[in-house]
Amino acid sequence: MDALLTALADPARWRLVSLLAERPRPVGVLAQLAQARQPQTTKHLQTLERAGLVTSHRTGRRRVYALQPAPLRDLAAVLGRLADTADQAGGPRETYDRYGLSLDAERFAAKEPGWADGRSFRFSRSLAGPPELVWRHLTEAPLLVRWWTPDDLRVSELVFEARPGGRIIHEYRDAEDADGSDVVAGRAEGVVDDVHPGERLAYRLSPLLPDGSLAFTSHVEFDLRPTGAGTDLDVHWRITGSTVGSADFIAGIEIGFGQSLDKLAATLAADLRDTEHDTDTRSTQ
């Protein structure tokens, strides 16, 4: 595949491929049609032949070249699969495009300090497991790191002191930045305001701009209600202190935190399945 792509990358060789797609042609005619010197055309054709894109045979004093369609079809199939992967419904590319639209709108709106103050977001999820289990995932660092980032990101530093006045530090990086050599994707600092285990959690959290100043302050409230099947979770975000530079962060709240809550739901469901499996295994021993 590398040889094929290298051969097609040259505009002169691509022109020869286009001419040979119409019909087999001798070297001299190809040179004329491509408006190139014959020795140069011959070298290009030899490169295409080594890549499996063309074949040739000598007829009298002429060497005639013909296109090999199969490698092009194979390449088209590979490119089609790549395009389908990037274009899958609900996939990362769709999320990227949604964020881009939101980013443009928020940057346009961010004309002066306080531009987003009072903006609010609401999220609701029906979660597996009782409120006590959900509460642990909201407040215990080893469990928080499993879900408290959007897709394609990972928590790189986390402090969460689940008591009134407790500190919060939330730093995250790209999920594939294994050695931490890439720039930090985001960092936020805050404080816990209200704690009612299994019922209600409230905190303030401020993303940091590159210069270390606060982008805005989010006031986040979690309310938990037990249900017959598990726990209903309602989350309310409210923004204060928005700066002009906060647009990029605010543009990602609805998408990013929604993805985080989806990861929380998946994590709880998986943990319960594992617990049930372990229970069943012990009961059969």
The string of DSSP letters for 9-31 reads HSHHHHHHHHHHHHS-EEHHHHH
- In this predicted structure, what is the pLDDT of residue 162? 97
Dist CA 74 CA 184 (whole Å): 40
Q: Which of 68-72, 144-148, 248-252, 276-280 has the lowest average pLDDT?
A: 276-280
Residue 250 lies in a domain: yes
Give the mean model confidence (pLDDT) for residues 261-269.
Answer: 96
Dist CA 157 CA 144 (whole Å): 11
Looking at the structure, tell me whether residues 223 and 123 fall in a common domain.
Answer: yes
**Domain range enclosing 55:** 2-85
Pair 101, 247: CB distance under 8 Å: no
The string of DSSP letters for 188-250 reads EEEEEEEEETTTEEEEEEEEBPTTS-B--EEEEEEEEEE-SSEEEEEEEEEEES--GGGHHHH
Looking at the structure, tell me whether residues 130 and 262 fall in a common domain.
Answer: yes
Q: Does residue 284 carry a pLDDT above 70?
A: no
End of a domain among 85, 101, 122?
A: 85
Looking at the structure, tell me whether residues 19 and 151 fall in a common domain.
Answer: no
Looking at the structure, tell me whether residues 125 and 258 fall in a common domain.
Answer: yes
Position with higher pLDDT, 275 vs 86: 86
Residue 90 lies in a domain: no
Looking at the structure, tell me whether residues 127 and 250 fall in a common domain.
Answer: yes
**pLDDT, tens digit (0-9, with 9 covering 90-100), for 52-111:** 999 999 988 889 999 999 999 999 999 999 999 998 888 888 999 999 999 999 999 999
Q: Does residue 38 carry a pLDDT above 70?
A: yes
End of a domain among 85, 104, 128?
A: 85
Residue 44 lies in a domain: yes
Looking at the structure, tell me whether residues 71 and 206 fall in a common domain.
Answer: no
Q: What percent of the chain has pLDDT over 90?
A: 86
Tell me the CB-side half-sphere exposure of residue 272, using CA atoms within 13 A.
15
Give the mean model confidence (pLDDT) for residues 187-202.
Answer: 98
Looking at the structure, tell me whether residues 168 and 33 fall in a common domain.
Answer: no
**CATH for 276:** 3.30.530.20
Angle at 182 between CA 178 and CA 187, to 5 degrees: 95
φ, ψ at 51 (rounded to 5°): -80, -5
Looking at the structure, tell me whether residues 127 and 266 fall in a common domain.
Answer: yes
- Considering only CA atoms, which of 50, 56, 57 is closest in space to residue 2? 50
Pair 41, 16: CB distance under 8 Å: yes
Count how many domains the chain has.
Answer: 2
Pair 223, 199: CB distance under 8 Å: yes
Looking at the structure, tell me whether residues 127 and 227 fall in a common domain.
Answer: yes
Element (H, E) at 42: helix 38-50
End of a domain among 43, 67, 85?
A: 85
Looking at the structure, tell me whether residues 49 and 173 fall in a common domain.
Answer: no
CA dihedral 105, 107, 108, 113 (to 10 degrees): 130
**CATH for 12:** 1.10.10.10
Looking at the structure, tell me whether residues 269 and 149 fall in a common domain.
Answer: yes
CA distance between the termini of the chain = 53
Residue 135 lies in a domain: yes
Residue 34 lies in a domain: yes
Residue 103 lies in a domain: no
Dist CA 151 CA 169 (whole Å): 19
| Sheet order of strands, 167-174 included | 120-128, 230-240, 217-226, 200-207, 186-196, 167-174, 153-160
Residue 131 lies in a domain: yes
Q: Does residue 32 carry a pLDDT above 60?
A: yes
- In this predicted structure, what is the pLDDT of residue 59? 84
Residue 101 lies in a domain: no
- Considering only CA atoms, which of 178, 139, 175 is closest in space to residue 159? 139
- Token output for 149: 């980032």
Give the mean model confidence (pLDDT) for residues 208-237.
Answer: 96
Share the mean pLDDT of the chain: 94
- In this predicted structure, what is the pLDDT of residue 166? 98
- In this predicted structure, what is the pLDDT of residue 272? 86
Looking at the structure, tell me whether residues 122 and 74 fall in a common domain.
Answer: no
